[in-house]
């Protein structure tokens, strides 16, 4: 500690300025707290800078390229469609810059003080914040920890110029001719799909027997079919063993069906999960309880075992989703203000920007049965919807999981175009305690994809109009 480092008094301190931290800071400020936020990186965290936002930009650009090449059945052909990948990257970065600049304006507009540096806990009311030159001690009344997560590095695949994490894959200077993706979860599938759309020959190695393991097989099978059409090779039950790096590429060794094999590529992308950033905060100094995975234990108000310290986002149990972190950030900020807010995850959607998109909220039928519910399952296909036909994108369905006794909607899944947007209505239905009848009686504009939700509800009621039951 530098000489003359007198502690600066703070009210509410937020550590981490990602989608959990900055949202928590703004909500706390709205509730009258004097808030300070600290982060060693750029505002917006992984999500805005090297995650959700840039990946969706890349995915959108790749779809434009793919559509330009494959719209002949609609009577549209294009010749010599080219990708200027450096321009794609510049466009992607312009979106990131706009959003991170927006976060800074929002924080300042809500009178949140911003500190750049790395926070280290000294005790339950004190942190030391260090940057390259200085160290300053701060005393706080309450603290919300929102430090997020980082990609897991596996010993045989140390990150390098050719062995990439998701950040590296988003920032390539050229479109690879060949890429191996280790891990067929949502990040691997999304980025693998994006590069396949750009023309990369992609091989996905997945250790389990299915890609996108959190989703039902009737959803993932549609994605696998599309991946095959794009020329993507998906190898399940595959164990990646090692990588040999050369000047211009890699050779990946893997084992599948009891045999060892190799695949050559320009790059290998490793997406085998994320690790919580809780190991270098000094939490052991404070006695904050964690599980064996380094996740912080919290109660229904995101409070840790230390009553003035809260934790949210990827560093607590549950899926590492930006919208989950934002939701928890609001709960923690409200709890500090004495409100009775509590977390309830039933309405949190999970979305994969695969091709087609997948989205789920509430229970799947399997989960509902395991939880002891007697359920009805109703499905309506995109192929019977006029708008889907006019988009020339008809793979997929909407599935409703309703309680048999009263038709209460307790779960829903969407596989198909715009599933990421369509799931919001179904999340609202669950959150508001709506029944299949409520959804069926809601007049949906025609022709829209949203009608598929209404039609699925009519299937649940046994009175479908546009399919024969």
- 42 with 72, same domain: the answer is yes
373 marked as part of a ligand binding site = no
Give residue-wise pLDDT tens across range 411-462. 999 999 999 999 999 999 999 999 999 999 999 999 999 999 999 999 999 9
**Which entry of 67, 323, 444, 446 is annotated as an active-site residue?**
446
- 138 with 280, same domain: the answer is yes
- 263 with 294, same domain: the answer is no
DSSP-assigned letter for residue 296 = B
pLDDT in the model for residue 132: 87
206 marked as part of a ligand binding site = yes
Give residue-wise pLDDT tens across range 296-343. 999 999 999 999 999 999 999 999 999 999 999 999 999 999 999 999
Could you confirm whether 446 is annotated as catalytic?
A: yes
Determine if the pTM surpasses 0.85.
Answer: yes
Contact 313, 148 (CB under 8 A): yes
73 marked as part of a ligand binding site = no
User: Which residue among 345, 374, 392 closes a domain?
Assistant: 345
pLDDT in the model for residue 2: 47
Decide if 350 is inside a domain.
Answer: no
- 286 with 248, same domain: the answer is no
199 marked as part of a ligand binding site = no
Q: Residue 189: pLDDT band by 50, 70, 90 thresholds?
A: very high
Q: Which of 117, 137, 142, 135 is nearest to 127 (CA)?
A: 137
Q: The domain that contains 183 carries what CATH number?
A: 3.50.50.60
- 334 with 370, same domain: the answer is no
Decide if 76 is inside a domain.
Answer: yes
pLDDT in the model for residue 460: 98
Cα maximum dimension of the chain: 80
Give residue-wise pLDDT tens across range 344-358. 999 999 999 999 999
The average pLDDT across 146-165 equals 96
Decide if 244 is inside a domain.
Answer: yes
Decide if 468 is inside a domain.
Answer: no
How far apart (Å, rounded) are the C-alpha atoms in residues 69 and 73? 11
- 16 with 139, same domain: the answer is yes
- 134 with 33, same domain: the answer is yes
The average pLDDT across 49-55 equals 96
- 241 with 308, same domain: the answer is no
- 123 with 173, same domain: the answer is no
Helices (H), 356-431: 365-370, 386-390, 419-431
- 195 with 110, same domain: the answer is no
Give the number of other Cβ atoms within 10 Å of residue 224's Cβ.
20
Give the number of other Cβ atoms within 10 Å of residue 292's Cβ.
5
149 marked as part of a ligand binding site = yes
The average pLDDT across 119-139 equals 95
How far apart (Å, rounded) are the C-alpha atoms in residues 127 and 120? 5
The total domain count for the chain is 3
pLDDT in the model for residue 436: 98
Give residue-wise pLDDT tens across range 221-269. 999 999 999 999 999 999 999 999 998 999 999 999 999 999 999 999 9
Domain of residue 38, residue span: 8-150+275-345
420 marked as part of a ligand binding site = no
């Amino acid at each position: 500690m530098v000489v003359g480092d007198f502690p600066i008094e703070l009210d509410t301190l937020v550590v981490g300025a990602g989608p959990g931290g900055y949202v928590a800071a703004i909500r706390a400020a709205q509730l009258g707290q004097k808030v300070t936020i600290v982060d060693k990186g750029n505002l917006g965290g992984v999500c805005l800078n090297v995650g959700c936002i840039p990946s969706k930009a890349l995915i959108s650009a790749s779809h434009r390229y793919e559509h330009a090449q494959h719209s002949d059945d609609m009577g549209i052909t294009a010749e010599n469609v080219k990708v200027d990948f450096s321009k794609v990257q510049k466009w992607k970065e312009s979106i990131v810059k706009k959003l991170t600049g927006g976060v800074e304006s929002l924080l300042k507009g809500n009178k949140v003080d911003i500190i750049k540096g790395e926070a280290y806990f000294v005790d339950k009311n004190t942190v030391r914040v260090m940057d390259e030159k200085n160290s300053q001690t701060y005393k706080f009344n309450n603290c919300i920890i929102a430090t997020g997560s980082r990609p897991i590095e596996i010993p045989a695949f140390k990150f390098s110029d050719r062995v990439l994490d998701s950040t590296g894959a988003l920032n390539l200077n050229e479109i690879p001719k060949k890429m191996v993706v280790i891990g067929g979860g949502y990040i691997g599938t999304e980025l693998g799909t994006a590069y396949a759309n750009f023309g990369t020959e992609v091989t996905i190695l997945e250790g389990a027997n299915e890609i996108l393991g959190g989703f039902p097989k009737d959803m993932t099978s549609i994605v696998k079919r599309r991946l095959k059409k794009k020329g993507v090779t998906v190898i399940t039950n595959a164990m990646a063993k090692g990588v040999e790096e050369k000047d211009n590429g890699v050779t990946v060794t893997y084992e599948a069906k009891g045999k060892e094999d190799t695949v050559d590529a320009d790059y290998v992308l490793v997406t085998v999960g994320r690790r919580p950033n809780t190991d270098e905060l000094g939490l052991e100094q404070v006695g904050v309880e964690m599980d064996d995975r380094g996740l912080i234990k919290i109660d229904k108000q995101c409070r840790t075992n230390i009553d003035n310290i809260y934790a949210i986002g990827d560093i607590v149990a549950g899926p590492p989703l930006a919208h989950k972190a934002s939701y928890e950030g609001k709960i923690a900020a409200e709890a500090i203000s004495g409100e009775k807010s509590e977390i309830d995850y039933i309405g949190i959607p999970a979305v994969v920007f695969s091709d087609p998109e997948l989205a789920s909220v509430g229970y799947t039928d399997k989960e509902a049965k395991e939880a002891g519910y007697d359920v009805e399952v109703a499905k309506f296909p995109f192929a019977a919807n006029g708008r889907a036909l006019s988009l020339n994108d008809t793979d997929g369905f909407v599935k409703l999981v309703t309680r048999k006794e009263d038709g209460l909607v307790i779960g829903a899944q969407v596989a198909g175009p715009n599933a990421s947007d369509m799931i919001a209505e179904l999340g609202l239905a669950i959150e508001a305690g709506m029944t299949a009848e409520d959804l069926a009686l809601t007049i949906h504009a025609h022709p829209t994809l949203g009608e598929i939700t209404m039609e699925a509800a009519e299937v649940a009621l046994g009175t479908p109009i546009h399919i024969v039951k």
